[in-house]
């Protein structure tokens, strides 16, 4: 795998998003690697829990904006097809994580933006550092972060989801801890140790009981969530073809304020 590094220490596997130069943005290649990595550690019997983290200064900056720009340059038919394929791959990754039978701890040190926030929210618990921030600002880029919104509402409620997705403001680690999105706050040099400890604490029960409990949490209680993710994926893909999305993407890459049509 080119973009995800997997290491196993005892009964805990660490999956490291490894595109630090672009803040671990979720390119189609990284998504494919992430799906393969989860599949591999699913099959690894000695692994009882997973720590998901990112290399470099950020946890994950979300969907790869350059990929969206390249897709936007295609003719309308191909562009729409590629957008739907990209978002379908992203939705499948989230669903794979939600259905994963072993506890997953997201170790967030730095920014978790848009789909990067959704990736962290897909985990069972989040451990973060004081420099961690959580942002859902898709509308500020002319996009629709439907999967992020659905997960934020599922984890924290509709009121909080409305506030953070509509304002686009960054939630600090302390705010996320206050709202129950983060389970623990530790220093950067201790985050992997803390996440591994939480992983061990979450995996002391029987494998069958843990798997059944996760199924209740994410598939029974979260039955509507899986349907929402599928619908949100389609809505987000369709929004990519709008003039507003094109302007938002160009403005972001050109580091200027958007001029909305």
CATH number of the domain where residue 143 is located: 3.90.226.10
pLDDT tens sequence across 205-218: 999 999 999 999 99
Q: Which pLDDT score is estimated for 1?
A: 86
So what's the pLDDT on residue 136?
95
pLDDT tens digits, residue range 125-172?
A: 999 999 999 999 999 999 999 999 999 999 999 999 999 999 999 999
The answer to whether the predicted template modeling score (pTM) of the entire model surpasses 0.85 is: yes
Residue 260 lies in a domain: no
| Total number of domains in the chain | 1
Separation of first and last alpha carbons in the chain: 41
Mean pLDDT over residues 2-15, rounded? 97
Q: What count of other Cβ atoms lies within 10 Å of the Cβ of residue 101?
A: 13
pLDDT for 261: 84
- Give residue 72's pLDDT band: very low, low, confident or very high (50, 70, 90): confident
Q: What share of the chain is helix, strand, coil (3-state, %, to 5)?
A: 55, 15, 30
42 within a domain of the structure (yes/no): yes
Q: If you average pLDDT over residues 226-239, what whole number do you get?
A: 92
| Residue 214 counted as domain residue | yes
Please say whether the beta carbons of 107 and 123 come within 8 A.
no
> By residue range, what is the domain housing residue 55?
4-253
Evaluate whether residue 259 is within a structural domain.
no
| pLDDT score recorded for residue 20 | 97
Look at residue 86 and tell me whether its pLDDT is greater than 90.
Answer: yes
Mean pLDDT of 22-28: 97
Is residue 63 included in any domain, yes or no?
Answer: yes
- Please give the structure tokens belonging to residue 170: 């960054």
Residue 197 maps to a domain:
yes
Question: Is residue 223 scored above 90 in pLDDT?
Answer: no
pLDDT at 200: 95
Q: Is 238 exposed, middle or buried (0-12, 13-18, 19+ CB in 10 A)?
A: middle
Summarised one tens digit per residue, pLDDT across range 92-101 is 999 999 999 9
Mean pLDDT of the residues in the chain: 95
């Amino acid at each position: 795998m080119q973009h995800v590094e997997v290491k196993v220490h005892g009964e805990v596997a660490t999956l490291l998003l490894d595109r630090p130069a672009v803040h671990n943005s979720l390119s189609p290649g990284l998504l494919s690697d992430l799906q393969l990595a989860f599949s591999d550690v699913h099959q690894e019997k000695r692994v009882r829990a997973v720590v998901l983290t990112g290399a470099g200064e950020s946890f994950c900056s979300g969907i790869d904006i350059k990929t969206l720009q390249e897709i936007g340059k295609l003719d309308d038919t191909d562009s729409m097809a590629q957008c739907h394929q990209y978002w379908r791959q992203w939705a499948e990754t989230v669903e794979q994580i939600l259905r994963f039978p072993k506890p997953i701890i997201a170790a967030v040190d730095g920014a978790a933006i848009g789909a990067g926030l959704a990736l962290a929210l897909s985990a069972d618990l989040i451990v973060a550092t004081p420099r961690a921030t959580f942002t859902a600002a898709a509308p500020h880029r002319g996009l629709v972060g439907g999967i992020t919104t659905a997960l934020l509402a599922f984890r924290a409620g509709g009121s909080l989801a409305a506030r953070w997705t509509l304002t686009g403001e960054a939630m600090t680690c302390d705010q996320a801890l206050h709202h129950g999105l983060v389970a623990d706050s530790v220093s950067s040099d201790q985050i992997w140790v803390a996440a591994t400890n939480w992983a061990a604490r979450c995996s002391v029960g029987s494998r069958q009981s843990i798997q059944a409990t996760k199924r209740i949490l994410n598939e029974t209680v979260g039955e509507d969530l899986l349907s929402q993710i599928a619908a949100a994926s389609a809505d987000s893909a369709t929004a990519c073809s709008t003039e507003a999305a094109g302007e938002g993407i160009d403005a972001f890459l050109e580091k200027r304020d958007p001029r909305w049509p």
